[in-house]
Structure 1
Amino acid sequence: MATKPDHLCVLVHGLWGNPAHLKFLKTSLRDKYAEDKLHILVVKRNAGSFTYDGVHTGGERVANEVEETLEELARNGTEIKKISVIGYSLGGLISRYAIGLLYSKGVFERIEPVNFTTFATPHLGVRTPLRGKINHIWNVLGARTLSMSGRQLFMIDNFRDTGRPLLSVLADADSIFVKALAQFKHRSLYANILNDRTVTYYTAGISQTDPFERLSEIQVKYVKGYEGVIVDPENPVAPKEPEVLPAFHKRLTSGTATVFQRAPIMAFLLVFIPIGTTLFLVNSAIQSVRSRQRIRLHEEGKAGVKVEGYRIPLMINTARREVEDMFENMTNAQPQEYLEAGSEELASPTQPTSPGLHNRRMSFAKHTENTDSDVDSISNEKAALQLDFPTLALTQHQFKMIENLDNVGFKKFPVHIQKHRHSHAAIIRRMDKKGFEEGHVVAKHWLSHFEL
C-alpha cells in the first residue's frame, strides 16, 4: 500500500487574491515533496472581494477550512501529524489569526506545528509613518476604501471589546495568536526591499528602520548561492564610498529628490481626484456594502461557518485590478518619516535605533580629521564609513508589535527583486510572466529551509 502523507501544508493568498495566485508555490512544493509525503491545501473561501471582510473573518474561514480538511483526511484514513502554514500578503495576517484559533481549540496538542512563513505580509499594517499632513490624509482616505480590511490594515479599527486595533491584538504577547506562533518550530518571513507597491519593507520585515531606502548609496550583501536576490539577513548592507560632488550640486540633488518624492502624491491629488474619484469611490462603496452584508451573514452563522466555535477568549490572561493598481500606487507614493532627535516617543527595544538623525536619509559618518574639503579628506585619508539608519515614525502600537514579534522570533530574509518593478507579485511568481524569474530563487531558498 502507498504511504499516506502525515504533513499538511496550508497556503493562504492575499488581498484581491485567489488560489491561482499560489500556483507556483504549490507546484514548487509538489516538485520537492510527492503526494505521499505532503498534503497541500490551498484555501478557497477568501477569494476575490471576500478579502475585504476583515482579517478576523478571513481567519475564521481559514481555520474552518483547515479543520474540515483534517476531518475529511481522517475519514479517508490519513492521519495528519504535522502542519505548516504559508501566507502571502494579507494572507499572512489571516494565517496568524487562523493559527490562533486552531491553537485555542487544541489542534496543536495533537498536530505538531512545523513551518510558518509569510511573503510580503504587512505585519505592522500599511499606514504611512505618521508625520506630515499629506501622509495623514492618505492614512485617513486609504483606510476607508477596503471595508473592514482597510480599517484594520490602517489600524483605525476598534476590535471587539479590546479597545485596540486588531493588528495590535494579533501581536499581543498574551494573545492566543502569539502563543500559537511560538508553537511553530520554524518561523520565517520574506520582505521586498524595492518596488513593493503594496507592502513596503518596514512592515513586511517587521523593522523600525529601512536600510534599503537609498540603494544607490549602499552595497547590498547577499546569501551565498542566492546572489542578487536573497539579502544576507546577518550582514545586509555595507557602506559605499560616497561620490564627492560640488556643494551646489549636492543642494540641487537634495532638492530634486524631495520634489520627486512628493510628485506621486501631488499627481494623485491634482489629476486623479478630479478625473477618477467617482469611479474609485463608487466601487469602494459597493464593495464595502457587499462586505458588510457578508460579515453580517458570517456573524449570524449563515455563511457556512459555525462562528460560535471560534468566539473564544483572545487573550490568554483573560481566558479587481484597477482598484488594486490605484491602491498599490498610492500606498507606494508615500514618503517615509522619521523620529526627531530627542523625541520622547519610544522605539522598540528589540532593535537598534538612531535617535540622533534629523534628516530623512541615512547618514554615512566619516571618521576623519577636520577639513574644509571633502575631496582632501577622502584623497588624503582612508575614511572609515559607518552606516546609521533613522528610526521610522511609527505609532506606539507598531513599536510594541515589533517588540512582541521579535521576542517570538522570525528568520527575516530581505528580497531584492531587480528584473521587474512589480516585486509584490514577483516574490512568489504570482503569474507566469516574463521578469518574474527571480521568484524561482526565492522559492528555492524557502524550500531549503522548509522542514518536512
Structure 2
Amino acid sequence: MAGKPDHLCVLVHGLWGNPEHLSFLSSSLREKHAEDKLHILVVKRNAGSFTYDGIETGGERVANEVEETLEELSRSGHDIKKISVIGYSLGGLIARYAIGLLFSKGLFEHVEPVNFTTFATPHLGVRTPLRGYHNHAWNVLGARTLSFSGRQLFTIDSFRDTGRPLLSLLADTDSIFIQALAQFKHRSLYANITNDRTVTYYTAAISQTDPFVQPDALKINYLDGYADVILDAQNPVSPKLSEATLSEATPALLQRLRKSTKTGFQHAPLVAFLLIFIPIGSTLFLLNSAIQSVRSRQRIRLHEEGKAGADFGGYRIPLLNTARKEVEDMFENMNNTQEQEYLAEDSEEVTSPTQPVSPIARRKSFLSSPELLDSESEAEKAREAGGTDFPALALTQDQFRMIENLDNVGFKKFPVYIHKHRHSHAAIIRRMNKEGFEEGFVVVRHWLDNFAL
C-alpha cells in the first residue's frame, strides 16, 4: 500500500451474501478516503451457505479474520489505532457478535472503536408480530428453513446454557456485546420504510411501532440535500390530512389497526404457498434447506473441533459478566406476505419505555385525531408533536427489552424511502449495478457524509 493508514474499516455481508454484495460500499468508501488514511477489510469467510451456520459461528469467523488482518498489517508496519465496523442485513448481527468478542479480548484497549453502522439489519429478529394463524404459520415454517441462523433470527433458539435466544443475549445490558457497542463513538442504522421483503422497518429501525403502514395518509419529511430518500429522523412523518378529513378517516383507520383486516383474497399468497407450493414448488426449496442444515451442522462441528482452518476455542469466553438464489427469492416473497399486528386493547404486555407509542388500549388514533384524545391538552401536545403517536406492535417481551437496551446505548436512526425499485433490501446499499437502484447512491452518500475518519 502507498501509505500507512491507522484506521481499519470492516464490512460484513448478509444472509446468502458474498463480498461482491458490498462492492459499492467498499468502492465508495475508497473514493472518499485514500489508502493512506483507511484500510478496508471486506470479510469473506461467511460467504454463501456459510451464513446458515448461525450468528455465533459467523461472529467468531469475523473476529478471527479481523485479528489476522490486524496482525498482518502490524507486520507490514501499519499501526492500526482506530476501527469501524459496518454490517449489512444479517451481517449487522454477526458484526455485533464479533465486536463483543474483540472487546472481551482487549482489542478496544489499544484500538479506538469509531463508527458502527448497520444497513437493513434485523436487530429484533424477523418473526412476524403474532396475531392470527397466518403469522403463526410463517414463524413456524420460516424458522426451520435457514438452519441455525433461521432459529436465531426467529428467536426460537436456546443459546448455550443461558436458556435464552441469542438475540436477547446480544442486547443484554450485562453482556460483552452491549458493552462493546457502547464503546463506539458513533452508532447509526439505516432502515427501509417499505418494500423490504427480508427485513421490515420495525426490526431494522429497532422500533416498537411502524409509522409507515399507511404512508399515503402521512406527509413524509425528508432531510434537505438527500433527494427524497433519507427521512428526517427527528420528524419523519406528520399528518397529511386536514382536521376535517381526519375526523372522517380516523375511525376507519383505527379499526384497521385494532385487528387484522386482511381478506381471504389478500391472504392468497399464503394460501397458495400452503396449497400449491408445499406439495409442488417448495419441494426443492425444503430439500435444499434440509441439505444446507446438514452441511451447516457438519461445518459447525469442524468449527467447534478446531478443524476449520483456525482455532476458535479462544473465543469461547464468558458472554455475560454475570439453490441459493431461488431459496432467497422464495423466503423473501413469503416473508413479504405477512402483516404487522398490534397489541390488543386488553393486552397486559409492557412496551419499551424508551419510545413514545399510542397503544390502542389508550384509544388514541395513530394520526392523533383530537376527537379521540382524552383531553384538549393532550390534543394540543399531539398537534405540537406533529401527530406522530402510533400503536405498539405485538412484539414479544424479549423484543421490547431489546429495544429498551439498544436505545439506551443509542443509535442514530435513518429511515430510507426507496421509490424506484421494489427490492429495497438490495437497493439500499446498491448491492448490484442494476437499473432502479440509483437511490442507493443517496443512501451511501449520506453514510459517507457522517463517517468519522
Which of 304, 329, 335 is 2:339 aligned to? 335
The answer on 1:409 being equivalent to 2:410 is yes
Which of 329, 342, 348 is 1:344 aligned to? 348
Q: Which amino acid aligns with 2:327?
A: V
Which residue does the alignment assign to 1:378? Answer: none
- Alpha-carbon distance in structure 2 between the residues aligned to 1:398 and 1:290: 30
Q: Is the 8 A contact 2:237 2:386 kept in 1?
A: no
Which residue does the alignment assign to 1:310? Answer: 315
Provide TM-score, normalisation by structure 1. Answer: 0.92
Q: Report deviation, 1:386.
A: 3.2
Which residue does the alignment assign to 2:369? Answer: 366
Deviations 1:102-127 (A, max 9, x none): 00000000100000000000000000
Q: Which amino acid aligns with 1:192?
A: N
Q: 1:440 to 1:368 in 2, by over 3 A?
A: same
Q: Is the 8 A contact 1:417 1:438 kept in 2?
A: yes
Q: Report deviation, 1:166.
A: 0.3
- Alpha-carbon distance in structure 2 between the residues aligned to 1:168 and 1:230: 29
Which residue does the alignment assign to 2:280? Answer: 275
Which residue does the alignment assign to 1:7? Answer: 7
Q: Is the 8 A contact 1:343 1:355 kept in 2?
A: no
- Alpha-carbon distance in structure 2 between the residues aligned to 1:246 and 1:387: 18
Which of 322, 325, 330 is 1:326 aligned to? 330
Q: Which amino acid aligns with 2:404?
A: E
Q: Is the 8 A contact 1:367 1:385 kept in 2?
A: no
Q: Report deviation, 1:340.
A: 1.1
Q: Which amino acid aligns with 1:432?
A: N
Q: Is the 8 A contact 1:146 1:288 kept in 2?
A: yes
Which residue does the alignment assign to 2:299? Answer: 294
Bigger CA drift: 334-343 or 200-209?
334-343
Please show how residues 49-60 of structure 1 align to structure 2 within 5 Å: 49-60=49-60
Which residue does the alignment assign to 1:377? Answer: none
Please show how residues 38-57 of structure 1 align to structure 2 within 5 Å: 38-57=38-57
Aligned-residue sequence identity (percent) comes to 73
Q: 1:244 to 1:176 in 2, by over 3 A?
A: closer
- Equivalent pairs, count: 436
Which residue does the alignment assign to 1:108? Answer: 108
- Alpha-carbon distance in structure 2 between the residues aligned to 1:358 and 1:284: 44
Q: Report deviation, 1:306.
A: 1.1
Deviations 1:211-257 (A, max 9, x none): 0111111010001111310010000001011658999xx79x97997
Matched position secondary structure for 1:10: strand
Q: Report deviation, 1:93.
A: 0.2
Q: Is the 8 A contact 1:143 1:153 kept in 2?
A: yes
Q: 1:256 to 1:108 in 2, by over 3 A?
A: closer
Which residue does the alignment assign to 1:373? Answer: none
Q: Report deviation, 1:441.
A: 0.2
Matched position secondary structure for 2:262: helix
Matched position secondary structure for 2:403: helix
Which residue does the alignment assign to 1:398? Answer: 399
* Structure 2: runs of 5 or more not aligned: 373-382
Q: Is the 8 A contact 2:358 2:366 kept in 1?
A: no
Matched position secondary structure for 2:360: coil
Q: Report deviation, 1:368.
A: 6.0
Q: Is the 8 A contact 2:173 2:405 kept in 1?
A: yes
Q: Is the 8 A contact 1:261 1:335 kept in 2?
A: no
Matched position secondary structure for 1:348: coil
Which residue does the alignment assign to 2:123? Answer: 123
Matched position secondary structure for 1:44: coil
Q: Is the 8 A contact 2:346 2:361 kept in 1?
A: no
Q: Which amino acid aligns with 1:350?
A: T
Which residue does the alignment assign to 1:82? Answer: 82
Matched position secondary structure for 1:52: helix
Which residue does the alignment assign to 2:389? Answer: 388
Q: Is the 8 A contact 1:93 1:122 kept in 2?
A: yes
- Alpha-carbon distance in structure 1 between the residues aligned to 2:209 and 2:248: 30
Q: 1:136 to 1:368 in 2, by over 3 A?
A: closer
- Alpha-carbon distance in structure 2 between the residues aligned to 1:186 and 1:164: 29
- Alpha-carbon distance in structure 2 between the residues aligned to 1:241 and 1:280: 45
The answer on 1:160 being equivalent to 2:160 is yes
Q: 1:61 to 1:344 in 2, by over 3 A?
A: same
Which residue does the alignment assign to 2:375? Answer: none
- Alpha-carbon distance in structure 1 between the residues aligned to 2:233 and 2:90: 23
Matched position secondary structure for 1:113: strand
Q: Which amino acid aligns with 2:123?
A: H
Q: Is the 8 A contact 1:18 1:44 kept in 2?
A: yes
Q: Report deviation, 1:278.
A: 1.3
- Alpha-carbon distance in structure 1 between the residues aligned to 2:334 and 2:260: 20
Which residue does the alignment assign to 1:425? Answer: 426
Q: Which amino acid aligns with 2:194?
A: L
Q: Is the 8 A contact 1:262 1:335 kept in 2?
A: no
Q: Is the 8 A contact 1:366 1:385 kept in 2?
A: no
Q: Which amino acid aligns with 2:218?
A: I
Q: Report deviation, 1:329.
A: 1.0
Deviations 1:63-96 (A, max 9, x none): 0000000000000101100000000000000000
- Alpha-carbon distance in structure 1 between the residues aligned to 2:87 and 2:339: 27
Which of 338, 359, 366 is 1:355 aligned to? 359
Matched position secondary structure for 2:414: strand
- Alpha-carbon distance in structure 2 between the residues aligned to 1:385 and 1:416: 20
Deviations 1:135-172 (A, max 9, x none): 11111111000000000000000000111000000110
Q: Is the 8 A contact 2:192 2:418 kept in 1?
A: yes
Q: Which amino acid aligns with 2:410?
A: G
Q: Report deviation, 1:367.
A: 2.9
Bigger CA drift: 266-275 or 232-241?
266-275
Q: Report deviation, 1:385.
A: 7.9
Q: Report deviation, 1:316.
A: 1.7
Q: Report deviation, 1:363.
A: 3.2
- Alpha-carbon distance in structure 2 between the residues aligned to 1:388 and 1:342: 19
Q: Report deviation, 1:364.
A: 2.8
Q: Is the 8 A contact 1:342 1:355 kept in 2?
A: no
The answer on 1:30 being equivalent to 2:34 is no
Please show how residues 219-298 of structure 1 align to structure 2 within 5 Å: 219-241=219-241, 258-259=262-263, 261-298=266-303
Q: Report deviation, 1:352.
A: 1.1
Bigger CA drift: 158-167 or 218-227?
218-227
Which residue does the alignment assign to 1:192? Answer: 192
